[in-house]
Structure 1
């Protein structure tokens, strides 16, 4: 009697997970005799300790006593599946389903086999039979359609689920994958238009539609959608992203600045979009210099950006345009943001000061960088160049000779060093050393050619 009670408890525990689905797995069996009961409990015991071969043998004995018992076939399927004998597992679950088609657990067994063997086509057939038992299986059906590349069916189902149960990250990723193929974009545009008409206050639908029209380069439709968004959701931050460029084109500067500031202050909008808008405003300011103060204020929005020093990039922009004073202004702003000396910004500043022949400003920058980076030969070179131009030839000679030791496999820099050393010795009145370094520079120039 204790053995029977123990095995009954084991049976309850094995079937406990089924309760979560709202329909219990088959438990009650009409035991025709004690032998059937003995074989069945033996099968459950062996399965519990993962002796699946012995469990199958016991279940086959049960079938000899009751050949039309769905529960026995179900148990057989589970043991065959554990042994990865997929063909036998599927036929056992299928037999159980043919005997009792109203029990979803037999279909779930068939689906488990299909999923493990990646037979997605058959899995779709099985899932469609499971959906009437539980609509949650539609989520699985979405994934199956993606695996069989039935993207039109997947898109329809995704849109249905988005509307009935809400969006999910997985489905949204599937949708992006589908819409990357232009074939399906028109269908999605139609769906989004319908969604906007039905739910005019749902911002995400406008954003998705704007994205699709942008991919098609349909600017007219983009602006039309943006205006609808602005009308229905006036405070939308996303509306300002698209309106910003429209304001620039129409030279509505103050509206553009307001839109830009809204976007830059937003926590919802991606940093890439923010950088793009800022760059467009930078180009606009180049022809509208009266707005430079607004540009400076906009830079402050990027103070926490660890990836891009925006002030430095603005400095480079003006540097390339040979607008030296503006380049200096933004390089100094960039240095202030870093809070410490920066090799790249310092070299850029030195180059600008060289263009302006402001050598008195180059020397202190180069000396500071030598203190911080004593093996960087370019700073010794620029310090020597500056001192030569300032006619402090002794300082130039000393610092150039010190830096020469760090020049490795950089012929252009080595040529520069020799020329500057020649200039230093020329200033000091040492013609022999002057000729030595100038001739050395000439030899290197010939080799370089």
Structure 2
């Protein structure tokens, strides 16, 4: 709901005075006494404005009370009194003053608006509703937005839904009202009649995209997937340019194991400027799972990943690489991790994942070369030395392995498992070099470290 803070723009040259003074109850007096009374009223009124302007609300109220003695039926004075009490958060007195102003001059919108300010700040939403209903007489569309929210806050969902539907026809949809509508329609009470209403609306106006989308949502929520797919196909036929139809059709095609049609819908979604990036990520994730079980769509998957090359929030190629690591599909994992590093070469997590994948797939020559290359860039990163030592041991370059491991173990900090792995590889290196005593010492140290970790 929009915060309602409205101020009078008083122009000292006379707009305020003409309003305030027009309510004066003037008895026949001598000219001098009239001038004196008018000057006294002016002085008190302007003093009140001045004190309110510097946030001396109590002093402002005292000056306004003096004005009331002269003009007890002046609504402008009560409105000013109410505004000062509202600033002091004295809501009962503010309400009383605004009610009095409204009673004297019920056609002045600002008096109703100020009363709404009181009820909104005190979260008295039930009393706000009739005030806002009155305010719609002046600015219908503006205050209808507030009225929708007030109906939601007071759980008058029938009224909220009726007003939302009316506003969709008069001013068009909005994200906030759409959210409210979905919240209401999630209640089973509304689903059946709403489906019928939407079906009828589609017949009357087959080019209104939002009706199809809401109907697809309702059918999907009630597990009527066949009906939802039917609506999506109607939407595609009536509005071929609808990108949202492709979101639904993609899901149906995946569920039907139709990879060709699913990929076609996916690319329409990925190319769309209307569809949120989060939805595009969701579509890619579903296609990734599908493609991992259907290798003939590997090229489509890679093409889809390319759409996210400029994504500043998520390194998509790296995430796809992680997915394939979890599936123990190391060839695919390596492909996407190398792709990730081509885009972001300084991503150390991608480097470590790639080295791990080389090790798991026994690509020890690549493991040794890539790890030593990155040591030049990150000379204090312990895990790079570990992978270099592992690769060198597997390549039977035991002297190089010992050197890499000796140089890197000092960089291990608070990582017992990594330290144990360093010691194991040092044991392997000394075993290859024929030093059995040191081999057994390093293996024993590794075992001790693992036992100490398990005892914690």
Q: What SS does structure 2 have at the residue aligned with 1:124? A: helix
Q: What SS does structure 2 have at the residue aligned with 1:83? A: helix
Q: What SS does structure 2 have at the residue aligned with 1:143? A: helix
Matches within 5 A, 1:306-317: 306-317=312-323
Distance 1:361 1:161, change over 3 A: same
Q: What SS does structure 1 have at the residue aligned with 2:350? A: helix
User: Could you tell me how far apart the structure 2 residues matched to 1:215 and 1:110 are?
Assistant: 42
Matches within 5 A, 1:405-424: 405-424=410-429
Q: What SS does structure 1 have at the residue aligned with 2:413? A: coil
Q: Which residue of 2 aligns with 1:54?
A: 63
Q: Which residue of 2 aligns with 1:45?
A: 46
Per-residue Cα deviation, 1:6-42 (whole angstroms, up to 9, x for no partner):
xx973733389xxxxxxxx676347533557556545
Q: What SS does structure 1 have at the residue aligned with 2:291? A: helix
Paired residues of 1:42 and 1:58 also in contact (CA < 8 A): no
Matched, 1:365 2:370: yes
User: Could you tell me how far apart the structure 2 residues matched to 1:445 and 1:58 are?
Assistant: 86
Q: Name the TM-score, length of structure 1 as normaliser.
A: 0.82
User: Could you tell me how far apart the structure 1 residues matched to 2:75 and 2:254 are?
Assistant: 72
Deviates more, 1:437-446 or 1:363-372: 437-446
Q: What SS does structure 2 have at the residue aligned with 1:423? A: helix
Matched, 1:390 2:395: yes
Matched, 1:28 2:22: yes
Distance 1:183 1:432, change over 3 A: same
Q: Which residue of 1 aligns with 2:253?
A: 247
How many residue pairs match? The answer is: 426
Per-residue Cα deviation, 1:253-298 (whole angstroms, up to 9, x for no partner):
3322221111111111122222222232233333432222222222
Deviates more, 1:195-204 or 1:83-92: 83-92
1:227: Cα distance to partner?
1.8
User: Could you tell me how far apart the structure 2 residues matched to 1:332 and 1:387 are?
Assistant: 21
Distance 1:116 1:411, change over 3 A: closer
Deviates more, 1:40-49 or 1:371-380: 40-49
Paired residues of 2:75 and 2:102 also in contact (CA < 8 A): no
Gaps in structure 2 of 5+ consecutive residues = 1-9, 52-59
User: Could you tell me how far apart the structure 1 residues matched to 2:437 and 2:178 are?
Assistant: 77
Matched, 1:282 2:288: yes
1:431: Cα distance to partner?
3.4
Matched, 1:12 2:14: yes
Paired residues of 2:398 and 2:433 also in contact (CA < 8 A): yes
Q: What SS does structure 1 have at the residue aligned with 2:12? A: helix
Paired residues of 1:78 and 1:109 also in contact (CA < 8 A): no
Matched, 1:153 2:154: no
Per-residue Cα deviation, 1:122-144 (whole angstroms, up to 9, x for no partner):
33223334444553443343333
Q: What SS does structure 2 have at the residue aligned with 1:302? A: coil
Distance 1:182 1:426, change over 3 A: same
User: Could you tell me how far apart the structure 1 residues matched to 2:21 and 2:234 are?
Assistant: 59
Q: What SS does structure 1 have at the residue aligned with 2:140? A: coil
Q: Which has the higher contact order (CA 8 A, sep 6+)?
A: 2
User: Could you tell me how far apart the structure 1 residues matched to 2:348 and 2:101 are?
Assistant: 75
Gaps in structure 1 of 5+ consecutive residues = 1-7, 17-24, 64-68
Distance 1:87 1:74, change over 3 A: farther
Matched, 1:141 2:147: yes
2:205 pairs, out of 176, 199, 207, with 199
Per-residue Cα deviation, 1:58-111 (whole angstroms, up to 9, x for no partner):
222333xxxxx4xx1442243243234554554454445445545555544544
Distance 1:184 1:60, change over 3 A: farther
Distance 1:315 1:10, change over 3 A: closer
Per-residue Cα deviation, 1:363-420 (whole angstroms, up to 9, x for no partner):
1111122222222222212211222222212111111111121223333333322222
User: Could you tell me how far apart the structure 1 residues matched to 2:14 and 2:195 are?
Assistant: 52
Deviates more, 1:38-47 or 1:248-257: 38-47
